[in-house]
Amino acid sequence: MQLKNWHLTVIVFMISLLVLFGGRFIYQNYRIEQPIQVAMSEIKGVKLNQIQYDQQKVELTIVVQDVENFVDTYHQIENKIQPMIGKRELQLHFVNNQDQTLLRAWNQAYFNIAQAMDKNEYSTIPIVLEKLKKQSRLDKVGYGIDEKNVYVDLHVGKKSLYFILPRRVNQGVNNVG
């Protein structure tokens, strides 16, 4: 009789674990992952690569294909995803489709862009980028600014490079790739 009670206890324990972890998996899949995947599929020019999350933050790794305006796309992602994750911090990481031409161009421009930001002379950044476009023979350069960040995108052929630079002093650069 003692042996039967022990087996019953183990079986009940295993069923409890199965329900607990199965419920957690179902919650995470249907409450977090699927809505994010659906929302990201509705945004033109981006593809969700990976989702990682915990109680404090949600990290999305995103492949940017060809977008008209990187700043608008960035805000569109933020506006769609943030309501889904509540008070968790949203961290976006963008995968770049870069090459050496773009990296060299960025290295040439970064000092002047950082200097313009340090001096709060944001109006000089488009001038720096247009000069860079001609010197490095880039097809397209993009620039945007909001209250938190400066956004820069460089394009040559089918390759692209995206950067988000925080406007706060001494925050560094966030290479999004």
| Residue that finishes a domain, picked among 62, 95, 128 | 95
| Residue that finishes a domain, picked among 45, 67, 95 | 95
Task: Write the pLDDT tens digit of every residue in 32-46.
Answer: 888 999 999 999 999
Same domain, 78 and 8: yes
Same domain, 63 and 18: yes
Extract the tokens encoding 133. Answer: 């476009």
User: Which domain, by its residues, includes 119?
Assistant: 100-175
Residue 117: per-residue pLDDT? 93
Q: Which SS3 state, helix, strand or coil, does residue 123 take?
A: helix
Determine contact, residues 47/61, Cβ cutoff 8 Å: no
Extract the tokens encoding 10. Answer: 């183990």
Residue 53: per-residue pLDDT? 86
Tell me: pLDDT of 2 over 70: no
Q: Using 50, 70 and 90 to split pLDDT, how confident is the model at 177?
A: low
Number of domains the chain is built from: 2
Task: Write the pLDDT tens digit of every residue in 56-114.
Answer: 999 999 998 878 899 999 999 999 999 988 898 999 999 888 889 999 999 999 999 99
For residue 122, give the DSSP letter.
G
pTM of the complete model beyond 0.85: no
With tokens 């492949």, the residue in question is: 63
Q: Which SS3 state, helix, strand or coil, does residue 163 take?
A: strand
Residue 15: per-residue pLDDT? 80
CB atoms closer than 10 angstroms to residue 131: 14
Same domain, 108 and 78: no
Q: How long a stretch of residues is the chain?
A: 177
